[in-house]
Chain A
Amino acid sequence: MNTNLVDVRNVTKDFHNGKITVNALRGLDLAIHEGDFLAIVGPSGSGKTTLLNLIGALDIATSGDVHLFGHDLTALSRRERAELRLTSLGFVFQAYNLIPVLTALENVKFVLELQGIDGGRHERAMSTLEDLSLGELANRRPNEMSGGQQQRVAVARAIVSRPRLVLADEPTANLDSENSEALLRMMRELRDRHGMTFVFSTHDPLVMAHATRVVTLLDGRVASDEVKNAGEEVGSAN
């Protein structure tokens, strides 16, 4: 559990809006380890989503280094970053973001197709849906499912290819507490069963309660980094 999947070193990220420059991240350092169930928390504007985007190779830092699985993301081309996202990352977004014209099963299969996996796509996607108790909803389109069901399909899509790292941006923001609890339990189970690493950007205390590690951002910097062990004990991250 000590291998660094992600190394963020002295990263800054600026956004320009006309003459105004917003410093979203200001010399941030963070290491994410394999098997982490990590919640990044902090007030709005603290840089949570920006950090998640940089880790997820969706954006590039203004300065500093972001290493993902040993790759320096700033050195990769747009296409190489897309390839890295496709093969090694899973994303769960706040607003589910399923493809509305595809069924649950097709949404999940689509990722496998993007990855060029030919054989057993259907079985693999179906098995993932069944693991998340979504087997009966396989042929429903997003608009025929509840928010909680859609978010579970989004999780199924994120994990179907067994990525090493799953990034989830406010995954429970649109869910009630019951659905949120179920979703988080399911993700914990996936992490325990498959050794996957989960990183959340969240405001939700429930996510923090489930997290094994909580990183608090404030004004674009890490304000605190707490590790919670199995018995909910809190310690300091390395």
Chain B
Amino acid sequence: MMSVSTLRIAWRSLGRNFKRTLLVAGAIAVGQFAFLATSALMHGYGEQFFNAATGPMLGHAQVHAYDWREDRSIDLTLADIDGLLVDIRSDSNVAHASARIYAPAMAALTEDGFMGVVVGVDPETECHEAGLLPVDGMGELLGEHRVLVGAGFAKKHDIEPGMEIAIIGQDMDGSIASDLYTVEDVMWSAVEIIYALGIVMSLDDAQELLLMPDQAHEIVVHTSDRELIDETVVRLSHLPSLADLEVLSWKELAPFVITMATMVDLFAYIVLIVVFIAAAAGIANTMLMSTFERTHEFGMLLSLGCSPGRLSTMIAVEAAILGLVGVAIGTLSGIGFVAATSESGLNYAALGGSDSYEVAFKGMQFSLLIYPRIYAKDIVIAVAAILATSLMAVVWPIMRIVRLRPVEAMRS
């Protein structure tokens, strides 16, 4: 068992060469801070990426007719959409289920037309944080023959609220479908197709325009907890009404998100490894210098009958304290950084001197305002790893101590 004296000697020995101790502890602290700050930014970025991917665009799961995703053919629809939604919502894990229609169309304000995409949504079921209409009251704007247009689309074609917009497309029968709508407002969306091309109208209007009564192209499902996604997808796919339909989780719909998440973790762990190597080198150097400087003292302690094991424990404890002091300072700094930025966010764009707040990737808009997130897991991993590194770093000094002969050591 470790004695009070062992702990006392170990602790006070750190003050023998205070500058060196401060330097090593500082280096560990900086490394730990770098790891936590990087992890927090990566987590914030990853969370935003996940939310953007699984939020309004993909949802946690989707239901389609087979081949619709590849062909995007207007006639590959889900029939009896109300019945399907009732079945899906009967699952206790399902928080939201919304039907959507997507159809390419020509839009025109004057004589000149331009390409857009008609997106039919249910104003009631899309009005939630992860829906296509996340702003309160947005659903109410989608009255009969009233549409919202994507901000990018509006900007590009000088569309403003109150304008009349003509939509011309192809209905389910292959005939020309056309009608006139009023632009109720311009909407920002994280979904690129809506932001850049979207003409969003109510599901009823879209069904009427495209002759798709009680039909839609996809149902987007959000579960109450992201941990429930996989089991919910399995359960939904076993529903008799969905037997002939494709039920896919976001992981299958957007495997690149998984890749990104893996890359984020990998990047954080690379930083962690660099921190550990630096910490190990610093601690090993310090402890080796310390044991060389104290060889005479160790010889004296061995002469008094102190066992090599006890001396080794003393050195290991000294290294562990050094590591933990550094890691504590680094952890507190890291937590401080996250606390200071987690609410306001950190604007990557501004850091890079850009005015743009979003980037588009794989059909999604990502905000460059990152909200750092810190997890207890990261702190535990870093503390355990620094502790393990500290102990590994003293293997060499300890091996030297174990081989010391009292007389020879005292002669040094």
Q: Is the A/B pair a real complex?
A: yes
Q: At the interface with chain A, which of B82-90, B243-251, B299-307?
A: B299-307
Chain A residues within an 8 Å CB radius of B407: 53, 58-59
* Chain A residue at smallest Cβ distance from B305: A86
- Report the bound CA distance from A86 to B305 in whole Å: 4
Please classify how large the interface on chain B is, using the bins under 10, 10 to 19, 20 to 34, 35 or more. 20 to 34
Q: Is B406 an interface residue (CB 8 A)?
A: yes
Main secondary structure of the interface of B (DSSP, over half): helix
Residue of A nearest to B15 (CB): A101
B-contacting residues, A48-107, CB 8 Å: 53, 56, 58-59, 79, 82-83, 85-87, 89, 91, 93, 97, 99-102, 106
A101 CB to closest chain B CB (Å) equals 4
| CB proximity of B17 to chain A, nearest CB, Å | 12
The answer to whether residues A102 and B304 also contact, given A59-B407, A93-B410, A97-B297 and a CB cut-off of 8 A, is no
Instruction: Let me know if A110 and B5 touch, CB within 8 A.
Output: yes
Interchain CB contact under 8 A, B304 and A85: yes
Q: Which residues of A contact B305 (CB under 8 A)?
A: 82-83, 85-87, 89, 114-115
Interface size on A, residues (CB 8 A): 26
B9 touches A (CB below 8 Å) = yes
Q: Write the nearest CB–CB distance from B402 to chain A, whole angstroms.
A: 10
Question: Is A99 within 8 A of B307, CB to CB?
Answer: no
Q: Contact mask B200-213 → A, CB, 8 Å, 1/0?
A: 00000000000000
A106 to B4, alpha carbons, bound, how many Å?
A: 11
Asked if A191 is at the interface of the complex by the 8 Å CB criterion, the answer is no
| Alpha-carbon separation in the docked complex, A79 to B310 (Å) | 12
Residue B19 lies at the interface, judged by CB distance under 8 Å to chain A: no
Would A97 and B15 be within 8 Å (CB), given that A110-B5, A113-B3 are in contact?
no
Chain A residue at minimal CB-CB distance from B16: A101
Tell me whether B235 is interfacial, beta carbon within 8 Å: no
Binary A-proximity of B1-19 (CB < 8 A = 1, otherwise 0): 0011100110011011000
Q: Which residues of A contact B306 (CB under 8 A)?
A: 82, 86, 114
Please report which residues of chain B, range 356-412, place their CB below 8 angstroms from some CB of chain A when the two chains form the complex.
405-407, 410
Contacts A58-B406, A101-B13 known; A86 to B304 CB distance under 8 Å? yes
List 6 additional contacts besides A85-B305, A97-B296, A97-B297; criterion CB under 8 Å. A59-B405, A100-B16, A101-B16, A106-B5, A110-B5, A157-B304
Residues of B within 8 A of A (CB): 3-5, 8-9, 12-13, 15-16, 296-297, 300-307, 310, 405-407, 410
